Structure 1
Amino acid sequence: MVGCYPETPLHIASMLGHLDFVQEILNRKPEMAGELDARKSSPLHLATAKGYLEIVKKLVSVNPEMCFACDRDGRNPLRIATIKGHISVLRELVNVRPQAAQMSIDH
């Protein structure tokens, strides 16, 4: 978390679909890709939920291990993509970390 706010600027940019802002933040502070908010969601969880494929690609290029991160409800980004029906995002996540698909099935 950054300061007293539950989300980082990267969380907000990812959730709102601001690709250029996401890229700028990742250029300056790539470690933000691994930050979790109060709901234990990463920026990848939020971009996945909205179906923002290009943002998902940027986030996993910086921190592909976030494909394994589970939010407070026990969902990793692959499960969220499945629930929301974002097939192109799901394909990208499976291509990046196929093992996360098994983890999603096991939970």
Structure 2
Amino acid sequence: MEEAALSGDIESLYTLIEKDPGILNDLDEERLSIVKTPLHIAASVDVRTTPDEQKLKYLYFASEIMVLKPSFALKLNPQGFSPLHLALQNGHGKLARRLVDMNKEVVRVKGREGDTPLHLASQKGECDLLAYFLSACPDSIEDVNARDETALHVAVRCQQFDALRMLVGWLKGNTRKGADSLEWSILNWRDVAGNTILHLSVINHNIQVYTLARSCRPRMSIS
């Protein structure tokens, strides 16, 4: 199975299933919330220098697995990552979008250190994917990691100003019911050390972050 996943070979996948119809069920037992599945393996291949044709094979293979076993997308591997975390780490932009299209809840899966894929996209400055994730799963903006950091905290900590600007812009442009309250809550959210993004901008002497944060419609707290 690992060989089929590493090559994105759907024919080999079904050959294995024919020989052992329960091969995927064995990985899908309820007690196995942490397990290395074929979906993890396909998403783990670094495709940043891979030809487009091979990238599509991984995309099709992953889509096939998602149809057969949707629950695999919500599981963590032994290293603490979901398939979407791995796709982000390895340049699988199309695969990341496909996973979200098939199940928007994958955006909210908490992996190692409590980071969701939204946190990871913020850390890496993947602005297009941040926008895609938030469009599919707006509630993910409220998720915090083990440090009580929002995706905005992560953007500030990792000096990803474009990602922060995108996230703040999304909050300001949000027209859903309770948007003002949500914007105030997120912008004034304190991490485990008691810092809002405004505090972090002052600590790090980052005038860009400070100016951007202060431009938001709810008045931010500096106390």
Cα distance in 1 for partners of 2:83, 2:108 equals 13
Report the Cα offset of residue 61 of structure 1: 2.2
Deviation above 4 Å: which 4+ runs of structure 1?
none
Contact 1:33 1:42 in 2 (8 A): yes
Higher relative contact order (CA 8 A, sep 6+): 1
1:3-54 Cα distance to aligned partner (Å, 9 max, x none): 9x95211011122252121112112222211121113311011112234221
Cα distance in 2 for partners of 1:99, 1:51 equals 25
Question: Which ranges of structure 2 fall in alignment gaps of 5 or more residues?
Answer: 1-25, 29-33, 48-57, 145-149, 151-188, 192-223
Cα RMSD between the aligned structures?
2.4
Q: Is 1:15 aligned to 2:40, yes or no?
A: no
The match for 1:65 is 105
User: What amino acid sits opposite 2:44 in the alignment?
Assistant: M
The alpha-carbon distance between structure 1 residues 66 and 21, as it changes in their structure 2 partners (threshold 3 A), is: same
Q: Is 1:95 aligned to 2:124, yes or no?
A: no
Question: Identical aligned pairs, as a percentage?
Answer: 32
Cα distance in 2 for partners of 1:44, 1:79 equals 12
Contact 2:35 2:75 in 1 (8 A): no
TM-score (norm 2): 0.42
Question: Which ranges of structure 1 fall in alignment gaps of 5 or more residues?
Answer: none
Report the Cα offset of residue 98 of structure 1: 1.5
The match for 1:41 is 81
Higher mean C-alpha deviation, range 73-82 or range 8-17: 8-17
Question: Which structure has the highest helix share of the two?
Answer: 1
TM-score (norm 1): 0.81
Contact 2:107 2:140 in 1 (8 A): yes
1:45-91 Cα distance to aligned partner (Å, 9 max, x none): 11122342211122112221121111121111011011112222211
Q: How many residues align?
A: 106
User: What amino acid sits opposite 1:80 in the alignment?
Assistant: L
Q: Is 1:53 aligned to 2:74, yes or no?
A: no
SS at match of 2:27: coil
